[in-house]
Amino acid sequence: MRRAYNDGSWEKARRYAFQILDQPKETQLARSVIIRSFWNQENTTEVIRLNSLWDNEFDELSLKAEYVLQKGESPNSEIHHPRILKLHKNQIRPQNEQKQWNDEDIVDNFWQEGSRVWMLHPHGWTFWDMPGNFSLSTTHPDLLRLTAEVLLYPWQKSTLQSFEGTRKLGSLPALAFSAGTDSTAAALVMPEETILGYHRRNFESILDHRNADKLLEHMKRDRGKQVVDISSNHELIRTYYHKQIGFSSDFASGTHLILLADHFDIGAIAFGTPLDNTWLSKGRKFRKFEDTRYFKYWTERFLSAGIELFLPIAGISEAGAIKICQDSEILPYLNSCLRGDGKKGCEGCWKCFLKNGPIGRPFDIQANEIQTFLRRKPLPTATHALWVLQQLNLESEILELSTFLESDLSWWTSSYPPAKEIIPLRWREETWKKIHQYLAPLVEPYPIESINLYDE
């Protein structure tokens, strides 16, 4: 039977398996051979039928079969991939499982069990594991409203609620710290007392925390930083709406800090958003960021919850961030690759190209992901990608945008002075003084203001 199965003779393997199916010692093996041989023959109906006949012993295979079956019938149907279904199923559930989603009073969807904070959403629950002495009952309700809005608004318009506006501005700055190059540069130019808040995705995925752990340890041990490390599964919320695992919106990476604002007396939350996504739109077209609806809305929204929105590297490109890290003797502890093993990067991802390439770390320009991104139109993070190609003398790797590649991009590592004006006043001078220690300011006319790579 084994030989037949290994040879791919499914019918034959199955015939043998049926002969021993009733021998108690062999049942499990026989069932496995039978159901897997049907799976290998793409007989999904039989896989589903046998699984239910055999006490759902082959649930995983059966889920895959259901997925294939439904996708076959209606390719555009929004059904979850078995891997996602398994993740949904394996999530921890609260004790208070009966509670219903409250559309009107958003604050009612939050509660605490031990040091775990739960948030109910229309498709389930999400949670954060807070420090031991955290108390939700003494946390200002506007912080909960802001958290829900940041995580659910893309799909639940009811989460847009009016704030009481009574929370006093806290006194400390905190940074949503991902341990990548941009947020490390942000940490290096922010005030000494800045709290670094790491969001730890607490379910299994392709993401590997080992590179981040190394830097977190260094920040604590060698640089005396206060590091707050919070586990959460909120990156699964998007998957209920048939999106990939990840942050619901730009500020989702800081929800742990929003929730902790009263606990740590936080008065500003910083994000390591570089120039590529502030004064440049999608890294390729200049815009007046301070006038965008996006910036105005969120600045106002955070402020009414007693938090200043702090974008310390909004005037610094990804290349400038790399330079700050390079000049801070932090590179031995830093690696932006999310698939690295704590020693090096994977050498094949877009981050390895964009962040590790310019500092002389190995990467494979022929790697699938790098080639896919380089061929995409428009080119993602275009200005920075072009700068990297120019730095590494790899201009021939890309055919489009050649005129731009011929121009001098060395200004890309300078700081953009107008960005100083959006830094919270109480930390403005201090932050920009540090920025100038690393990067010279651009002089007028600022070359970035004429960037429009695709004539949009």
When asked if residue 254 is in the footprint of Zn ion (CB under 5 A), the reply is no
CB of 343 vs Zn ion, minimal distance in Å: 12
CB of 209 vs Zn ion, minimal distance in Å: 14
When asked if residue 130 is in the footprint of Zn ion (CB under 5 A), the reply is no
CB-CB neighbours of 369 under 10 Å: 15
Identify the CA nearest to 380 among candidates 294, 313, 280, 291: 280
**Letter for the amino acid at 272?**
G
CB of 342 vs Zn ion, minimal distance in Å: 13
User: Of the two residues 215 and 311, which places its CB atom closer to Zn ion in the complex?
Assistant: 215
Cβ contact 41:59 at 8 Å: no
When asked if residue 447 is in the footprint of Zn ion (CB under 5 A), the reply is no
CB of 324 vs Zn ion, minimal distance in Å: 21
Query: By rule CB under 5 A, what count of residues binds Zn ion?
Result: 6
User: Of the two residues 339 and 434, which places its CB atom closer to Zn ion in the complex?
Assistant: 339
Instruction: In the chain, count H helices and then E strands.
Output: 18, 10
When asked if residue 337 is in the footprint of Zn ion (CB under 5 A), the reply is yes
**Letter for the amino acid at 355?**
K
User: Of the two residues 142 and 347, which places its CB atom closer to Zn ion in the complex?
Assistant: 347
- Stretch (H or E) spanning 27: helix 27-40
Q: Which 8-state DSSP code applies to residue 409?
A: -
d(CA 56, CA 63): 10
User: Rounded to 10 degrees, what is the CA torsion of 356, 359, 362, 365?
Assistant: 70
When asked if residue 345 is in the footprint of Zn ion (CB under 5 A), the reply is yes
User: Of the two residues 312 and 345, which places its CB atom closer to Zn ion in the complex?
Assistant: 345
Tokens of 192: 């000494």
When asked if residue 352 is in the footprint of Zn ion (CB under 5 A), the reply is yes
When asked if residue 180 is in the footprint of Zn ion (CB under 5 A), the reply is no
Among 35, 117, 346, 453, binds Zn ion (CB under 5 A): 346
d(CA 456, CA 454): 5
When asked if residue 370 is in the footprint of Zn ion (CB under 5 A), the reply is no
When asked if residue 314 is in the footprint of Zn ion (CB under 5 A), the reply is no
CB of 347 vs Zn ion, minimal distance in Å: 6
Identify the CA nearest to 127 among candidates 208, 205, 237: 237
Residues that bind Zn ion (CB under 5 A): 337, 339, 345-346, 349, 352
